[in-house]
Amino acid sequence: MAKINLNMERCKGCGLCIGACPIDNLRMSEELNSKGYPFAEVIDKDKCTGCALCCRMCPDVAIEIEK
Ligand code: SF4
Ligand code: SF4
């Protein structure tokens, strides 16, 4: 099972990963990180397929997939 790790402190809230997820499993947080940005969060870690499209899209290397 793939494990997705999203570093909320690296995220700038651009939303590119959210549009890239084929199963719509990412959303923007309601809270802000310490830099004042909303951040992407995984809706259901168990549903993540590990396709890595989100991490390839992220300009800030905030997402890692462990296989
Ligand atoms: S690895 Fe794939 S399925 Fe999982 S959150 Fe990223 S884009 Fe979605
Ligand atoms: S693509 Fe990266 S920086 Fe942009 S919202 Fe997603 S995790 Fe955050």
* Nearest atom of ligand 2 to the alpha carbon of 58: 1
Spatial separation of the C-alpha atoms in residues 50 and 41, rounded to whole Å: 15
More confident position, 67 or 14: 14
Segment 39-67, tens digit of pLDDT: 999 999 999 999 999 999 999 999 999 98
Which residues are CB-neighbours of 39 under 8 A, at least 6 positions away?
6, 8, 9, 11, 13, 28, 29, 31, 32, 33, 62
E-strand stretches of 1-67: 3-6, 26-32, 38-42, 63-66
Spatial separation of the C-alpha atoms in residues 22 and 37, rounded to whole Å: 24
* Full set of structural domains in the chain with CATH: 3-66 (3.30.70.20)
* Nearest atom of ligand 2 to the alpha carbon of 37: 8
- Best substitution site from 6, 8, 9, 12 to test ligand 2's pocket, by max atoms within 8 Å of Cβ? 12
State whether the beta carbon of 20 lies less than 6 angstroms from ligand 2: no
